[in-house]
Amino acid sequence: MWSKAVIASFNAIPQNACDSDYFGPYNKLLHTLFPPDSDFAVGPVFFRDSRQAPVTAVFEIYLVDKPVLILELRVPSYLDLPSTRQVVDEEIRSRMNGMVSACPLETLHAISALGTKLCFYSLNTRNRSAQIVPAAIPRHPTEMNDTAPADHWNYDILEPAGEERLRLIVKQIMDGCAALNV
């Protein structure tokens, strides 16, 4: 179970929050999972996004200088529209494709967080023809289709199943990194 400090941090988020209101709670949570006195670094990265939202907050977790986890953060309202879900889905896939060759582990993990709702992504780094899971849904050429269904964000970080899933991924990352003898 998350510490009282982590839960309090999430509970302090205002009703009509912006992306930056989630930054502190996720920063606290990630530093709980990847302590500052370890070989891991939790690095915040901010991007201006000309398509939909003015700022994208991303946390990149590194083992020394090699990426092992990506968490992209947006407000919960991104769940409401297929177009905004599509934007975040495409962004995280692009970020994973850009970082996969630098990841020292067999799997590069990524998380799209829309408020407290999470979609987990993974990519086998050893297989050049591997595809990101969940599989991308191509746009239909003549009909509207949902390329990033809302049910992909089916875990909540504040619920036991969401916490368990995140902790399992972190354990896989920690075990994989320990085997590297860095």
Q: How confident is the model at residue 182 (pLDDT cuts 50, 70, 90)?
A: low
Q: Does the domain made of 19-136+144-180 have the CATH classification 3.90.1570?
A: yes
Q: What is the mean pLDDT of the chain?
A: 91
Tokens of residue 47, six digits: 């991007």
Mean local confidence (pLDDT), 63-73 = 95
What pTM does this model have? 0.92
> If we measure between CA atoms, which residue out of 57, 168, 24, 49 comes closest to residue 109?
168
